[in-house]
Amino acid sequence: MHIAGVVDWEFTYAAPTEFSYAPPWWLLIEKPEDWPKGLDDWTRSFDVV
């Protein structure tokens, strides 16, 4: 019996492709709704369409 490798499935999930272009909410310092200059400014800053 030899262990060839270990797979860690902790952060593995299936999601739509669009999710790879949007920053995760937990990486943002502030929620988009609380952005000082408004949601439109947040959208321009992060290039979210």
Residue 48 contacts residue 41 (beta carbons within 8 Å): no
Residues in the chain: 49
Mean pLDDT score, 12-32: 73
Nearest to 24 by CA among 11, 6, 36: 11
Over 60: is that where the pLDDT of 21 sits? yes
Task: Give domain limits for the chain.
Answer: 1-48
Q: Which residues lie closer than 8 Å to 23 by C-beta, 6 or more apart?
A: 46
Amino acid 29: pLDDT: 67
Per-residue pLDDT tens over the stretch 27-43: 766 676 777 787 777 77
Query: In this predicted structure, what is the pLDDT of residue 25?
Result: 67
pLDDT band at 2 (very low <50, low <70, confident <90, very high): very high
Rounded CA-CA distance 20/32 in Å is 18
